[in-house]
Amino acid sequence: MVAFPLSIGIMIIIIALLVISLLLVLYAINKHRHNHYVDITHLQSIQFDSGSLFSFFQPHLISINEVSQRGYSSMLSLAQHMIGIQPIADSVMILWPPSFDCYNILLPNSLNFPEVILGVPGSVDIKLISLAMYASSRANGCAYCTSHCCTFAVRRGVDPSILRNLLTE
């Protein structure tokens, strides 16, 4: 008889977690609908070095609105929430949907993002993760990743002076 109340308690916890997850997804979808994105026609008109990878994909870019209509609005909202802007990479990666799916699943999970956002005890401090992302992007010389990691860090409360100090070290 003791196991019965325990299983009900576990079921209530599971249902509560599912409701919270559903609310987070609905919030992300709603937030995504109100965002504005870079106009793809503007990106297609910019002259890039013909030897760059972006110049190869440039004529084939897909608008964020079309990506959203293909059923990816929750993934787009997560990226928007993480860095505060909609990355141009989404318009490129959607050209091959498996790469878009992998990118949008691997990145948040490699950061242990669900635990960090929910504040699960024992999870790594998001500011520390942000600094590690920024420092590794800078060390590898990727300006695109560095800019996104910088916004990610600032949105998580990292003092911009700390990021500036990392530039000089």
How far apart (Å, rounded) are the C-alpha atoms in residues 75 and 101?
Answer: 9
Judge if 116 and 36 occupy the same domain. no
38-85 pLDDT, tens digit per residue, is: 677 777 777 877 777 778 888 888 888 888 888 888 888 777 777 777
Which of 58, 74, 87 has its CA nearest to residue 146? 87
Judge if 32 and 89 occupy the same domain. yes
- Burial code (b: 16+ CB inside 10 Å, e: under 16) for 125-149 equals ebeebbbebbbebbeeeeeebbebb
Which of 141, 162, 144, 165 has its CA nearest to residue 153? 162
Contact between residue 74 and residue 100 where contact means Cβ atoms under 8 Å apart: no
107-136 pLDDT, tens digit per residue, is: 878 777 777 767 777 778 888 888 998 999
Q: pTM higher than 0.85 for the full model?
A: no
**Which residues, other chains included, contact 84 with Cβ-Cβ below 8 Å and sequence gap of 6+?**
151, 152, 155
Judge if 24 and 105 occupy the same domain. yes
* Structural domain containing residue 168: 112-169
Q: Which of 92, 110, 128 marks a domain boundary? A: 110
Q: Give how many domains the chain has, as a whole number.
A: 2
